[in-house]
Amino acid sequence: MGDLRISDLVIEYATGSGEPVRPIHGLSLEIPAGSLVVVLGPSGCGKTTLLSCLGGILSPTSGQILFGATDVTALNRRDITSYRRRTVGIVFQAFNLVPSLTALENVMVPLWAADWTQWQAQERARDLLTRVGLADRTHHRPGQLSGGQQQRVAVARALALDPPLILADEPTAQLDFVRADEVVQLLRGLAAGDRVVVVATHDTRIVPLADIVIQLTPTAAPAPARPEQTPIRLGPGAVLLEQGTVEDLIYVVTEGEVEIAPNSAGAGDGLLKIGKPDNYAGQLGPMVRIPRSATVRAPRDATVVSYTVEAFREQFGHPPGPDGGNGPDPA
């Protein structure tokens, strides 16, 4: 079909922290037809993500993937489905064979989906299994095959429609040395003519056979930026903290003042302390996950700013104990 060209590829996804991570950032490559490409790198560096974009399973954030004259990154939904079916063969790390089907039937699955006749599909699957050395295992189910044999069935299935692009994700990860070598040699033989084979792996034994080696390195998630601290304005009598509640915030008084008073039955309403500007309240509860020991309220207009424990420590250092420093309230 032609060469594989990758230009300024960026793959970005969100994390739980809300900060995006870019496992692939500005990758550009030109891979001629007939090449075996090995993508190396530890878990989390973007190897599988890159294969998924090449196979039309994921869309990159930006950049372009051209395979021959096809701009993979510009295909619509219908065309990308056709591209995956006709152009791409995928060898999954976990084999993904159908347990109830024989080796022959597993290889026939993509042929059935492409509307081949039963006889045509059977002959094609038989030829492919012979090619990968499994002519005597055509009627065995996956559970009756070794890991290396299952992987070779997966390779045969990936070749069913003679795709010009083969993507193999950790194809030797579950195999012993001998079986892994068989699969490696098989993949090397597939990279010929107009076909490009891209292998994502930790296995450096494949490197000497590769035409092109891509080394990916993990991209550490950027440190989350400190969130903007939004002031909380309290009117006269407003309650900031309720005795007995559990939450994760520490409050710093920036304007006015707050009262810290017991609120339990029989304790009365005697004032314990007054928190003035630059004092903080509620530091002990979030740190040790205990209920608030007192109620905090504003006797008149006041302003406070809330912090998580981590943000508080970053801003002010470790809060002192209930009797030290400028913290008026261990609540």
Show the tokens assigned to 281. Answer: 């309240």
Domain ranges of the chain: 4-215, 231-316
Looking at residue 310, its pLDDT comes to 64
4-215 CATH fold: Rossmann fold (3.40.50)
Looking at residue 284, its pLDDT comes to 37
231-316 falls under which CATH superfamily? Jelly Rolls (2.60.120.10)
**pLDDT digit string (tens) for 25-81?**
889 999 999 999 999 988 778 888 899 999 999 889 999 999 999 999 999 989 998
Alpha-carbon dihedral sign for residues 56, 153, 4, 206: positive
Secondary structure class of 44 (helix, strand, coil)? coil
Which helix (H) or strand (E) covers residue 81, if one does? helix 77-87
DSSP of 55-72 = TTSS--SEEEEEETTEEG
What gap in Å lies between CA 110 and CA 33, rounded to an integer? 24
What gap in Å lies between CA 259 and CA 295, rounded to an integer? 8
Domains 4-215 and 231-316 share a fold: no
6: pLDDT confidence band, cut at 50, 70 and 90?
A: very high
CB 260 within 8 A of CB 296: yes
What gap in Å lies between CA 280 and CA 262, rounded to an integer? 17
Q: Strand pairing partners for 327?
A: none
Q: What percent of the chain has pLDDT over 70?
A: 74
DSSP of 278-318 = T-EE--HHHHHT---SSEEE-SS-EEEEEEEHHHHHHHH-S
- 234-251 per-residue burial string, b: 16 or more CB within 10 A, e: under 16: beeebebbebeeeeebbb
CB 279 within 8 A of CB 330: no
pLDDT averaged over the chain? 78
Q: Is the pTM of this model over 0.85?
A: no
